[in-house]
Structure 1
Amino acid sequence: MSVSTVAVNLQARHWQAVCNRDDLVAQSGVVVWFEGRQVALFYLPGQSTPVYAVDNVDPRSGANVIGRGLVGHLNGELVVAAPLYKQHFCLSDGRCLEDAGQALQVWPVRLCGDQVEIGQAP
C-alpha cells in the first residue's frame, strides 16, 4: 500500500477517509465534507505531493467556490486561483499571494491505497 502525504506535522494524527482516489479529477478540484465544513481537494498526479486539501470558502467573497478554481504556478508557487476575484492561494500553506490578510486553512491529506484521507487533530 503506497502512502503520499503533504509535508505537515503528520505524527499523532487520526486519519479520516473522505473519498476514493477515483472520485478525484486530475489537475482539478473536488469538494468533500470534513468535520462540518467544505474542503477542496486538488489532485495533481505526477507531483511530489499529489493531493492538497484547502478550505473551500473564498475569504474575500465568503462563497464556497475554491474547489472550482484553476490550478497553476505563479512566482514559483503551486497555486489555485479563486474563481470570483482571481486572488491566488498557495496550495501548500494557504497564503494569498496578493493579500497577506487572506488565507485558506489547509489540512494534511494523503492517498492510502484507493482512499483519500484527511488528517484530524489528535
Structure 2
Amino acid sequence: MSEDWHPVCRLDELEPERGVAALVHGQGIALFRLPDDHVYALGNHDPFSRATPLSKGIVGMRDAVPFVASPAHRHAFDLRTGRCLEEPSTHVPVYEVKIVAGVVLVGQRRVDAA
C-alpha cells in the first residue's frame, strides 16, 4: 500500500448518509458513506461559516447529485466535486477514496475536482 493512502476506518463503521470527521495528511476530512457503499471525502470546513464542520451536515440527493448541506447555512456541496450547488464559484477540497478489504483509505487531494 502506498504511503499516499491513509487508512481511516472500516467501511462497516460508517453509517450510511451520516458524516464523520477524520484527520488525514494533516487535514480535517469529512467522510460520507452513501447507501450504495460509495464513500466520499471532502474538506471538513464550511467556507461560508468558516467554523462549521461539514461532517455534521445533512446528506441528500438533488437532481441525481449526491450532496452534503452545511449545518450552519445549508449550502449544499456536491460530494463528487466539492462545488457548492448554490454558488458554483465556491468549493471545498475533495480527496480520493478507495476501499480495500473493507478498509476505507483516503488519498491525496484531487486537483481536478474544483
User: What is the TM-score normalised by the length of structure 1?
Assistant: 0.80
Residue correspondences, number: 108
Residue 7 of structure 1 corresponds to which residue in structure 2?
Answer: none
1:105 matches 2:93 = yes
The Cα offsets for residues 8-38 of structure 1, whole Å up to 9 and x where unpaired, read as xxxx983221222233111111111011121
1:85 matches 2:73 = yes
Unaligned runs of 5+ in 2: 110-114
The alpha carbon displacement at 1:93 in A equals: 0.4
Note the 1:17-96 alignment, pairs <5 A.
17-46=7-36, 50-96=38-84
Q: Which letter maps to 2:42?
A: V
Mark the CA change 1:75 to 1:13 in structure 2 (over 3 Å): closer, same or farther. farther
Unaligned runs of 5+ in 1: 1-11
Q: Does the CA-based 8 Å contact 2:47-2:92 persist in structure 1?
A: yes
Q: Which letter maps to 1:30?
A: V
Query: Whose RCO is larger (CA < 8 A, sep 6+)?
Result: 1
User: What is the TM-score normalised by the length of structure 2?
Assistant: 0.85
- Distance in 2, Cα, partners of 1:96 & 1:75: 14
- Distance in 2, Cα, partners of 1:96 & 1:21: 26
The alpha carbon displacement at 1:109 in A equals: 0.4
Percent of pairs with identical residues = 36
